[in-house]
Structure 1
């Protein structure tokens, strides 16, 4: 999965059925075990996923492992490039077809369309423990408005602040700690900026400014929890304050200019160039961090004094076709892929972050200075990421990007616009779009 701003977004888990019969119920083992096929012949289930070529060996290994333990179930796996992946899924579902199981990430109102199967009957039959996963993010992302679950998590990702230790060492500045404040972050970014050498304190202004846990900590937001209201939220004093803080970074000169950022490419974007001291990192891109040509560290988002400390988290998940003729077999595969056993397999390569906190502890991932920071974010209060609160975001995405352009990322020679003016105008215009879109639903 691609990170929405260009970082590879990237994104587990107990062998349940087929090895042991009559196993006890629990969070990692189910008792509705087995295929609905009792004839001894194989049932084929179709599985689609859109992931990178270097992820395919892991997928092949997991599918083989499942088939060996479930000899009456055959998995036909197809890898489809992410560009166009969801369009192909939608076309297949519209024709009453599509895979039995697939990898996806959706706003929860997508479940209202009816092609994704609720899985509560399987969860209840197997006493499958949903609390074993990172919460509250799994329920936020996989529960519909009806309170039912519509998927199991493949992975877990969070955002952290990454910092270039080499640049900190050169400037003789102590590394940041988890109790640092936004003002301390701002001061450090200024100290680590040298326009002559084109080295900048941070690039976070251009990297998801409106979808930040710091905005939530301030009491602001971009859109309502259900994704249909911006008036009174987008133009609230708290959200205006957040954009004013962003302008401070721009005015300080410590924010990487867009014109320079566009010349820096690679898996880790401008941060990977060694010219940016502090950036945002995702667990989906963790493996690419190993290729950085400098020493780096990770730290929690800076704190807003006197405010609740939010974290940012998300999951990519497995979904079942509501029209599948092999739902029991599909469930066997889903829970296998979201089990503790497979989470342990994933740890070996960290292709994606395991969605089960206990695995991070048992496998000693939290003893790693960087991985511990990713883990800790999943334990904080959080919200559904802004852009997946509802399908409404698709109708307003360009308008939201325009806000950042006007207030934080102006074209060369264009002055920054007043956040209060921009957000107030945008709230009126976007609310109109949302109301018209909702009226057509």
Structure 2
């Protein structure tokens, strides 16, 4: 199953990273959280030795050879080798290698889509005391936990927030919307200030739109899996989420004809749209889209997502690390993972590629804290949930995207769409063993 890679791929293709482009002023499981508990022998502080093979997806991992130099200096008898695999092929190749008994020692995973790997036959449990689980954004840590056993350690993080044209908001005399009810008036005000549409809504009608439905359903108080691990999608909260998304289009503040995902930044810079619900990588792309250094600092603001009846909730995503169950050098592998989880290493990763830290304390570093447009993402990351940790989530989310298109275009009711999503989810199950 491929990683949800479109956002990361665009970030790489743009040739711009947050670290270099923000010179500003400054498996049938419940989708709730779980307590984490390791169940492996603690890893000591002696130097790592031997060979450690690491597989990762191209993108954030491209700079790892540079980032881990301090680890190699402190552990001169360890040999770390990297295999970088195209993002779209990564999970397929990793699954094949694991099945053939030819997997690496350490593998990169993605918190939003790693559920099928989280078992003792595939991954070793995270050793007791290896890292401080409470030091990470909670939902990112919980994404790697099954039955109170942690299998992955978070590496980098992202979530969605509201990115909008501050200059148009100032002209219109409005501030960022705090609630769902504030959203349409805010978007209409941006249009009166000169924007073509208030919101540049993603119209891929795919798995990514399904992620949006999840956010909105959580904001409405919903949950997609029961405590017994059964799908609960045909609910008033899902209906509310579908209606909220459709309201952008029916109110005329978003257009079902565009922009597409790849057009979002040019539309935003040109004023054809005036806001986006998107990830932090977009901040580092806007100067390039505007072809003017400093354009972002003078034209853009960010804010947490408008709150529904249950608050301003977004999803957590990013990268994580796990050690394969059949690793031939688990001790050195875990020492490598521990190094990647240290705040200083995650700051170095940010400086090298723009990957935002999964360790909360790393956000206090001046390199990150001095970027005001990241504040909203930091605030939002503290109020996130994991997508349902089941093997079929991406299939179900893709169906959500298709159904929400029909609602947005007025072809069916939100109630009918929720029923269709529920029926489809029940037909594919959760992939639980």
Question: What range is the shorter-chain TM-score in?
Answer: 0.7 to 0.9
Matched-pair contact (CA < 8 Å) for 2:315–2:387: yes
- Residue in structure 2 matched with residue 26 of structure 1 by the alignment: none
Is 1:430 the counterpart of 2:428? The answer is no
User: Aligned Cα RMSD in Å?
Assistant: 3.2
Q: Displacement, 1:89?
A: 0.9
TM-score (structure 2 length as normaliser):
0.79
CA, structure 1 residues 347+92, in 2 after alignment: closer, same or farther (shift >3 Å)? closer
Matched-pair contact (CA < 8 Å) for 2:304–2:312: no
2:364 to 348, 361, 365: 361
Matched-pair contact (CA < 8 Å) for 2:104–2:324: yes
> Tell me, which stretches of 5 or more residues in structure 1 are unaligned?
12-29, 38-42
| SS of equivalent residue, structure 1 residue 346 | helix
CA–CA separation in structure 2 for the residues paired with 1:166 and 1:80: 41
CA–CA separation in structure 2 for the residues paired with 1:391 and 1:397: 11
- Residue in structure 1 matched with residue 351 of structure 2 by the alignment: 348
CA, structure 1 residues 198+358, in 2 after alignment: closer, same or farther (shift >3 Å)? closer
Q: Displacement, 1:254?
A: 1.0
Q: Displacement, 1:8?
A: 4.0
- Residue in structure 1 matched with residue 318 of structure 2 by the alignment: 315
Q: Displacement, 1:287?
A: 3.2
2:142 to 140, 143, 151: 140
CA–CA separation in structure 2 for the residues paired with 1:227 and 1:406: 30
| SS of equivalent residue, structure 1 residue 224 | coil
2:307 to 303, 308, 312: 303
Is 1:91 the counterpart of 2:96? The answer is yes
| SS of equivalent residue, structure 1 residue 417 | coil
Report the count of equivalent residues.
Answer: 389
CA–CA separation in structure 2 for the residues paired with 1:261 and 1:288: 16
Matched-pair contact (CA < 8 Å) for 2:215–2:313: yes
Q: Displacement, 1:133?
A: 1.4
Is 1:66 the counterpart of 2:66? The answer is no
> Tell me, which stretches of 5 or more residues in structure 2 are unaligned?
18-41
| SS of equivalent residue, structure 1 residue 192 | helix
Matches within 5 A, 1:109-120: 109-112=116-119, 114-120=121-127
CA, structure 1 residues 217+133, in 2 after alignment: closer, same or farther (shift >3 Å)? same
- Residue in structure 1 matched with residue 133 of structure 2 by the alignment: 130
Matched-pair contact (CA < 8 Å) for 2:116–2:391: yes
Query: How far does the alpha carbon of each residue in 1:321-365 deviate from its partner, in whole angstroms, 9 at most, with x for none?
Result: 110110001111111111122123234345200112112124373
2:183 to 171, 182, 185: 185
CA, structure 1 residues 227+55, in 2 after alignment: closer, same or farther (shift >3 Å)? farther
Matches within 5 A, 1:125-274: 126=130, 128-135=131-138, 137-144=139-146, 146-169=147-170, 171-176=171-176, 180-193=178-191, 199-204=196-201, 206=203, 208=209, 210-221=212-223, 223-224=224-225, 229-230=230-231, 233-257=232-256, 259-262=257-260, 265=262, 268=265, 270-271=267-268, 274=271
Query: Which region of structure 1 is more displaced relative to structure 2, 183-192 or 211-220?
Result: 211-220
Is 1:47 the counterpart of 2:47? The answer is no
Q: Displacement, 1:104?
A: 1.3
Q: Displacement, 1:297?
A: 1.0
CA, structure 1 residues 243+395, in 2 after alignment: closer, same or farther (shift >3 Å)? closer
